[in-house]
Structures are given as C-alpha cells and as structure tokens.
Amino acid sequence: MKLSTYNFLTSKAIKGVKVGYPLKLTIAKKDVVETEFNPTFIERLLPKLDWNTVYLAAQTVDLADDIPQEQPAAVADNEELLQRLHHLLLEIDVLEGQLECPETGRVFPITDGIPNMLLNEDEV
Amino acid sequence: MSSNYQSKKLDKKQKRCVAIIQNECKIEPVADGISKYVAILNAGLSTGLTEELVLETVEKFGKITRLLMLPNKSYCFMECSSTEDAQNIVQNMNGISKIGQKEAVVYLSYFDSLPQAEDSNWLKPLPKGLVILNDFVTEEEEKLLLDVIKMDNVEVDAALKHRRVKHFGYEFIYGKNNVDPHKPLTNKIPQKCDALWPRLESISKSCNYDFDWYVPDQLTVNSYEPGQGIPPHVDTHSAFLDPILSLSLESDVVLEFRKGLEKRSVLLPRRSLLVMSGEARYDWTHGITPRVLDVVMTANGNLSTRRRSKRTSLTFRRLRRAPCNCNFPLLCDTKLEALKRTESTIESEKAALLEEKNVHNVYDHIAEHFSETRHSPWPQVADFLKSFPQSSILLDVGCGNGKYLNCNPNLLNIGCDRSSGLLKVCSSLNYQTFRCDCIHVPVRSNSVDGCISIAVIHHLATKERRLMAIKELARILRPSGQGLIYVWAKDQNANNKKSSYLRQNKSVNKQKATEEQQRQQTQQQLEEKAKEAPVSLPVHTNRTEFLQQDVLVPWKVKNASAQQSEAEKSTFLRYYHVFEENELESLIGEVNDIKLVKSYYDQGNHCVIFEKLSKSL
C-alpha cells in the first residue's frame, strides 16, 4: 500500500462510526520502490489529498521533518518539496502492518501490501 | 453470335453445374463414357420441377428405375434401366427439353452413381400424438362448411401477414396469444360442425387412437392464399386443452413440425382432420412455410413438388380455464411463468449467502485461470479512462486482475476487489489495491474524480444491493466526477448482432445445437430445481441467449494439471443477474445526487456513464 492510497481509506462503513478518518497506520514492514518523478503530476495531485493525513503519513514513516504541517499555498516552484512528496506518496510501499479505526479500534491488517478492509455482515 | 461461341458458353455452364453437384453430392461425373446414372443439371425441386413432369418427359425416350429429387436443389438424378436407356434419354433431352425454370432448356450429364440421399424428414415417424384422419369430411360437407363460415367478407389482417382470420366462440387475441374466457363471442361455432364430433368419437374408438378429446368451444378459421404461411408456434398451453383439431379445406398443405433439432414435414391433404395430442400438441411447434410450391413425398417414396392453391383451415379447440398441467415444460407458458416468479424472489437474507458461495468463493478458486482469460481492456472503457486529466483519482471497484489499472498511467489508479486471489494478481503487477466489497467501499466521500464498475453489479443478488453499490459509487465521487458501469445484458443479440459472448459458440451446427442443449437443460433444471442451495436457480448454457435474469453461469477451469485436486478441476457456478434493457438506467434514476450522462450497449453489456451533481455536497 502506497501512502497515497492510505490517504483515501476510511472505516466509516462500520456501524456507529461517525468519521472513521484518518485511520491509524502501523507499519511492520515497508519497501521503497523508485518511480519516475513527475513534478506536475504531484503538484496536481496535492489538491485531491487530505493534507493532515499526508502529514500523518510522513510522521508514521519518520519523514515529518521533510513536510510542512500546514499545506503550503504554492508548491509549483518548490521542486525539492515536490520530490519529497513524490517519495512519500508514491515510492514508500507498506508491505505488512495494520490500519486501525480511530473510533472503534477495529483493526484492518495489511498483508503482502494489500489492506484487508472487508467488514463482516454484522459490523455494517 | 457464332454457334461455336454458343456451344462454348453452354459447355461452360454445364461444367459449372457438374462441379456444384460434385462438390455437394460427392459423386463423380463420367467424362467420356456412359453410365445409367444421369443428372438433370439445372432443374429440380427448387425450380419447381415435379415428378410427374420428369416421368412424362423421360418415358418417351427410355425407362428409369428411380428418380431422386433432393430438397432445395436445382438438380435431380435418375437411375436408368440400362446404359442404352440412359444414352437415349440424354441424346433426346440434353439441350432440348424445356422442363427447367420458366420452361428453360435442361442439360444432362452422366455420373458414376446416385448421391447418398439424406435421411428425409418424410421417412421418420410422425411426432408422437399426431394423427391425420384422411377424408374426414366429404366434398359436399366441405362446401357447406365454407358457406357457413363466410370467409369472403373477412378483412385481410396486415398484422397476420395478410392472412384472413375469423374466430367463433372466443376470440383468440394474438398480442397475448390467449383467449379471454370471460368474454365469449355471440358468434358460436356453426351448428354445421356438430356432425363432426360423433364422427371423431367413433373413429377414435374404432381405430384405438390414444387421445382423449372434448367437444370444442373455440374455432379459429384461417384462410391462406398460395404463398402465405404461419410462423412456427405452439398453441398456448394454458389457453387450450389437449388435443388441438385442425380441418384442412380447399387445398393440401405441408405442415412443418419442429422439436429442437428434430424436424418433420407432414402433408395435410385437403378434407383431412389433423389431431395433435400429447407430445405433438405440447412439445412440437408447427408452422407453414410461406411459399407457393410444397415439396411432398409421392406414393412411390420420391420427393416431388406440389403447387398450393387457396386453403382454409378450421382449428377447433377447447378452452382450458386453468393453468396447464402438462409434462412438457419447454414450450409451456404455465411452467415458464412459474420459473420467472422464482427468480424475482431471491430473499435478501439469502442474497449475501448466495454471493458468498456463488460469487466470492468461485472467484477465489478460479482467480488464476480467470485472470489468464481477461487481458485486453474493452476499448470504450479505456476511452472513458483516457478522458480524465492528469493526476485524477480513479477507483476501479471490482478491479479483478487489474486490467484497467494501467490504461491511463497519468491517473492515480487504485483498485479494490472482494477476491484476494485476484488482488494477488494485481499486487504482482505493482498495482495499488485494497480488499473490500462493493456495497461498503472504505473510501472517503467526495474524494475520487472517476470510478468504474465493470462487470461487478450483476453479481449482486437483489435490487436493493445493486442499488446500494451504485449509491456507494455516487458517494465517493467528487462533484462533477464521473462513473462508468458495465453489467451483463440479458439480451446478447442487441441490434440483431450477436455479442462476442455468443459468437464464441464454436459448435458446428451453432444455433440448433445450442437450442437443443437449452431444451435439455431446462428440462433438467426443472427436475433438479428443488435440490439446489442456498437459492435454487437455473444453470445457464454458456454461449447461448439468457432465458432468465437470475442464473448460475458455469466456469470450467481449464489446463488443470495433475497436481490439482478434483475440486479444482471441476466446473464452478457463478451467480449472475443479467440486466434487461433500461434496468440500469432506472437504477441510476433512483440515486439522488447523480445524473445519467450516456447509456449504451457494448460487447453484450448494458453500460452507463453518470456524473455527480455539484450541489450535492
């Protein structure tokens, strides 16, 4: 699971959960897969992401120093930041770990890079 | 034109005919010598040649022991008594006798043998339960009956291909192929017909015919001009009792019977009564081919042609006033209606179980093989994906092996699926995925620019669940975001073009073979129905049209290796709800915050593109 994917996941479908976001990410094993850096792609992607969760992801992988806590107004000219975001969002791959519902504590395991978000019929 | 040129032209034409016969009949011409087998190259049953005319013409020149006329062929064969007879016939007829189409001159050639005649429909036994009582009425009675029926002042009916029709007792309503038992006509069956029933009773007793019968209360009179016919049909089971009686007046006609692959041609002589009971009434369709000439079998077992004249048929029936109780389900409206009713009532508590057993478990078992068979993206889905600007978020709900996750690499493509087996395939290709089901997508609302649901929603077993899946897609889309849905269509033949699903039916005798398979399967289903769990559903025959909306579609795992267990080699049944036309559009209409952008039919699927409304935040 890339951290860009993590940005979209929620546990709101669980019965009684009001927000279910962001999920608490715990990483047991991760990999870094180098991909081609495209600054425009990252720049255009940012408005579609939840910045708090971008920052939370950075904290989880100890890269919080690289990323501002508040979403910067303009990033187009800040290629260094774009490069860091590229690395954070598209190159880090969580292989083993878990996601946890902030309200109920329900755990969703990540195995072989795939989060299992499947809920039982009695949870929804 | 020089005679030399003409003879060359003639020679060429003759050679062409000979080549056709060689190819179609697998017999060889006798080039230099003479044999007693002679073919008339350019006249036969299809050109309207009759046995009488051939015999009359040939016998002036020599004796023949056999005349062989093949259905739908413009040539025919003779076996002559001796080679001398053959030689004499050929010399006197070749290029001389005007017995071809529109009195054209015919050409003859020698062959080494007669072709193997196919098993003729005429030589097979009649459908079970079919009886023809010849000379059932006299010529005088025929005249009387025609007088009381008075067909001459009946208007021709354009909807019935200009055949004249008149009803007595009850009107037969063609739109619904039934009668209304509460609306009897003032026009009862003419009393002149009363004399027929004691006659039928005494014949059926004296001849020991195996049919029960009732005095009819409904009569439909059809008047056919030469060249007119009636499409193959079965008299609606629930409308009428067994048997159906049909009296032919004014002309002979050939009635064609069909049951799956089986075909029978039955000559109904003028003034005969046809009795269709049991299997012949319930399980065979009958119809009259619209044509002027009928191919008939003559007394000596040969085929010949017969010109039709105007014919009036009196079909006598008795209303059933109850559901049909026959043992022939395939053409039975009562049985098919019952089958339809069961499919609309998949209970919601069983729906999840059915999906679990007949969708999720199956995909996990067949994941690898399934993935091998799904590699090329459908072009119109790819076009949709390419319509998004760079960095758009695209979620493929039910991504399978991820074949759409790399169509447009300029997007942030994420896939999800219920099947962990298929997700592993995605993972091996470095695609981003997570596991979930399509009615609880764990993605925040208003967050994705595009979503696709390709061949997913037809796996959900109730309308409520199908609607929930669409609502989920609507929820996760941002305002102005667009979604694309593909579901399997019940109609695999839209615009009279077979879908590739049907085209892949490779059996040699495609249409007919599958028809027969379907027959057998329907029969089996009805027998097995009660036994299946969790919901009893019909099993679909692959590469054929869908008969019901809720079906189990077999998946046969191929290339099973020796190491695989028996279970892995077997056939799996996947549950499908195939969509009727407009069904998907109407589901879209039930979701508040989206609007339909486009709907179309593609590759045997019903498809919609919809857009999330901006004000819906």
Rounded to whole angstroms, how far apart are CA atoms B178 and B235? 9
CATH code of B147's domain: 2.60.120.1520
Rounded to whole angstroms, how far apart are CA atoms B175 and B164? 16
Rounded to whole angstroms, how far apart are CA atoms B488 and B553? 12
**Residue B343: pLDDT band with limits 50, 70, 90:** low
pTM across the whole model: 0.56
Inter-chain Cβ pairs, chain A and chain B, closer than 8 A: 80
Average pLDDT on B313-329 reads 92
Counting residues of chain B whose pLDDT is more than 70, the rounded percentage is 87
Rounded to whole angstroms, how far apart are CA atoms B228 and B310? 9
pLDDT value for B529: 41
SS3 track for chain A: CEHHHHCCECCCCCCCCCCCCCCEEEEEEEEECCCCCCHHHHHHHHHHCCHHHHHHHHHHCCCHHHCCCCCCCCCCCCHHHHHHHHHHHHHEEEEEEEEECCCCCCEEEEECCEEECCCCHHHC
Class of residue A80 by CB neighbours under 10 A (exposed 0-12, middle 13-18, buried 19+)? exposed
Average pLDDT on A1-11 reads 98
**Residue B567: pLDDT band with limits 50, 70, 90:** very low
DSSP secondary structure string for all residues of B556-592: E--S--TTS-HHHHSEEEEEEEPBPTTHHHHHHHT-T
Q: Give yes or no: residues B391 and B379 share one domain.
A: yes
Q: Which helix (H) or strand (E) holds B108?
A: strand B108-111
pLDDT at A86 over 90: yes
Q: Give yes or no: residues B249 and B233 share one domain.
A: yes
Q: Do A44 and B432 count as a contact with CB atoms less than 8 A apart?
A: no
Q: Give yes or no: residues B439 and B531 share one domain.
A: no
**Which tops the pLDDT comparison, A110 or B506?**
A110
Q: Do A114 and B418 count as a contact with CB atoms less than 8 A apart?
A: no
**Distance to chain A for B503, nearest Cα, Å:** 37
Q: Give yes or no: residues B27 and B42 share one domain.
A: yes
Rounded to whole angstroms, how far apart are CA atoms B483 and B611? 6
Residues of B in contact with A48 (CB under 8 A): 391-393, 412, 447, 449
Distance of CA A26 to the CA centre of its chain: 11
Rounded to whole angstroms, how far apart are CA atoms A108 and A114? 10
Q: In terms of residue numbers, what domain contains B485?
A: 348-492+581-612
Q: Do A12 and B442 count as a contact with CB atoms less than 8 A apart?
A: yes
SS3 track for B211-278: CCCCCCCEEEEEEECCCCCEEEECCCCCCECCCEEEEEECCCEEEEEEECCEEEEEEECCCCEEEECH
Rounded to whole angstroms, how far apart are CA atoms B232 and B429? 54
Least confident of B68-72, B313-317, B411-415: B68-72
**Does residue B125 belong to any structural domain of this protein?**
no
**Does residue B120 belong to any structural domain of this protein?**
no
CA atoms within 13 A on the CB side of B382: 9
pLDDT value for B524: 61
Rounded to whole angstroms, how far apart are CA atoms B518 and B260? 9
Q: Give yes or no: residues B223 and B134 share one domain.
A: yes
Rounded to whole angstroms, how far apart are CA atoms B554 and B558? 12
Q: Do B434 and A5 count as a contact with CB atoms less than 8 A apart?
A: yes
Least confident of B5-14, B245-254, B474-483: B5-14
- Fill in the DSSP letter of residue B285: E
CATH of segment(s) A3-115: 2.20.25.10
pLDDT value for B514: 57
CB contact at 8 A, B62 and B84: yes
Average pLDDT on B254-266 reads 88
Average pLDDT on B528-551 reads 69
Q: Which residue of A has its CA nearest to B415?
A: A5
Rounded to whole angstroms, how far apart are CA atoms A107 and A116? 9
Distance of CA B501 to the CA centre of its chain: 16
**Does residue B121 belong to any structural domain of this protein?**
no
Q: Do A117 and B434 count as a contact with CB atoms less than 8 A apart?
A: yes
Q: Give yes or no: residues B191 and B224 share one domain.
A: yes
pLDDT value for B56: 87
Q: Give yes or no: residues B185 and B49 share one domain.
A: no
Average pLDDT on B196-214 reads 83
Q: Give yes or no: residues B287 and B228 share one domain.
A: yes
pLDDT value for B570: 65
Number of domains in chain B: 4
**Does residue B198 belong to any structural domain of this protein?**
yes
**Does residue B513 belong to any structural domain of this protein?**
no
- Amino acid (1-letter code) at residue B375: H
**Residue B12: pLDDT band with limits 50, 70, 90:** confident
User: First and final CA of chain A: distance in angstroms?
Assistant: 24
**Residue B358: pLDDT band with limits 50, 70, 90:** confident
pLDDT at B533 over 80: no
**Per residue in B43-63, is it b (16+ CB within 10 Å) or e — as a string?**
bbbbbbbbbeebbebbeebbe
CATH code of B66's domain: 3.30.70.330
**Residue B617: pLDDT band with limits 50, 70, 90:** very low
Average pLDDT on B3-26 reads 82
**Which tops the pLDDT comparison, B2 or B214?**
B214
CB contact at 8 A, B442 and B436: yes
pLDDT at A100 over 60: yes
pLDDT value for B184: 94
pLDDT value for B616: 42
Residue B207 CB partners (closer than 8 Å, separation 6+): none
Q: What is the dihedral of CA B325, B326, B328, B331, to 10 degrees?
A: -70
Q: Give yes or no: residues B394 and B424 share one domain.
A: yes
**Residue B364: pLDDT band with limits 50, 70, 90:** confident
Would you call B52 helix, strand, or coil by DSSP? helix
pLDDT at B540 over 90: no
Rounded to whole angstroms, how far apart are CA atoms B225 and B212? 33
Q: Which of B412, B430, B436 sits opposite A4 (nearest CB)?
A: B412
Q: Check if B413 contacts A (Cβ < 8 Å).
A: no
pLDDT at B218 over 50: yes
pLDDT value for B522: 58
User: Tens digits of per-residue pLDDT, B378-428?
Assistant: 999 999 999 999 999 999 999 999 999 999 999 999 999 999 999 999 999
pLDDT value for B338: 78
Residues of A in contact with B412 (CB under 8 A): 4, 45, 48
Match 């709900």 to its residue by tokens.
B397
Q: Give yes or no: residues B155 and B289 share one domain.
A: yes
**Does residue B332 belong to any structural domain of this protein?**
no
Is the reported ipTM for this assembly greater than 0.95? Answer: yes
Average pLDDT on B522-541 reads 59
Q: Give yes or no: residues B458 and B412 share one domain.
A: yes
Rounded to whole angstroms, how far apart are CA atoms B124 and B591? 59
pLDDT at B545 over 90: no
**Distance to chain B for A92, nearest Cα, Å:** 12
Average pLDDT on B243-255 reads 95
Q: Give yes or no: residues B560 and B585 share one domain.
A: no
CB contact at 8 A, B303 and B120: yes
Residues of B in contact with A114 (CB under 8 A): 420, 423-424, 427, 433-435
Q: What is the mean pLDDT of chain B?
A: 86
**Which tops the pLDDT comparison, B298 or B27?**
B27
